[in-house]
Amino acid sequence: MMKGLEIKNICIERSGAEIVRNLSLEVPSGEVTVLLGPNGAGKSTLLDAISGVIPALEGEIFLDSQPLHNLNRLQRVNAGLSYVEQGRQIFSHLTVEQNIRAACDNQQLADAGMATTLSMFPELKKRLNTAAGMLSGGEQQMIVLARSIIKQPKVILIDELSLGLAPIIVSRFMPLLTELKQTGMAVLLVEQYANAALEIGDHAAVIVHGEKVLYEPCDGLKQDQQRLHNAYMGSH
């Protein structure tokens, strides 16, 4: 049995147009899998379909070998899937603690998850009762990440958490993803700062026009930027 997320031959349409074509990908537990590709390649569309925000036309999705593809979005969350959507925001008028707890409807689970979650974010722990809107952009993104792990999911899909953040703040985030994978989580990371993502990633997949054109260990790709560039340009 495969531990983690398995996507098999998935096809996704949006408004009648085929966006993702026959794509397969494994996102093993205990690894960060980096998903790269040019704007409009279909990265967010793929994550939307994995999480059940939109339906897939064809294909199968498994989490720890259990099928997810016939479940709705909430059922997938309950099966252990968490999705940090592109551009997700916090509730600025609620406190930091309220923001994080709002992601978990079960009080007991929230209490248990809160301690583990906060141990990862000392910046947030100090400011639990502050209105979230008062925090810096980077800290607000930490709230977004904290919300997404409070239920201690098996797999987390992260879409451009770094959007709008300075590179220095992005470099604060990347080690957090290493911490997550070390707890046994499977992490699928879409990231515009490819170099920062390759630093902490285990495998990287590149998709172009909805097709997977490359899948390799991050180590090799870090050394060979030209090949990454070529993949983007479609001359793999």
Ligand X SMILES: Nc1ncnc2c1ncn2[C@@H]1O[C@H](COP(=O)(O)OP(=O)(O)OP(=O)(O)O)[C@@H](O)[C@H]1O
- Tell me if 82 sits within 8 A of 68, measured CB to CB: no
Burial of 47 (0-12, 13-18, 19+ CB in 10 A): buried
Query: Residue type for 27, please?
Result: V
Question: By C-beta, is 15 or 107 nearer to ligand X?
Answer: 15
User: Cβ closer to ligand X: 26 or 85?
Assistant: 85
Per-residue tokens: 213: 């054109």
* 43/181 with CB nearer Mg ion: 43
Q: How far is the CB of 148 from ligand X (least distance, A)?
A: 18
Residue 113 within binding range of ligand X, rule CB under 6 A? no
The position carrying tokens 């919300």 is 147
For ligand X, the binding residue among 2, 14, 137, 219 (CB under 6 A) is 14
Determine contact, residues 141/174, Cβ cutoff 8 Å.
Answer: no
With CB under 6 A as the contact rule, the residue among 39, 70, 182, 226 that binds ligand X is: 39
CB 47 within 8 A of CB 216: no
Stretch of residues binding Mg ion (CB under 5 A), selected from 80-88, 161-169, 172-180, 207-215: 80-88
Strand, coil or helix: 8:
strand
Under rule CB under 5 A, residue 44 binds Mg ion: yes
Binding site for ligand X (CB under 6 A): 14-15, 19, 37, 39-45, 86
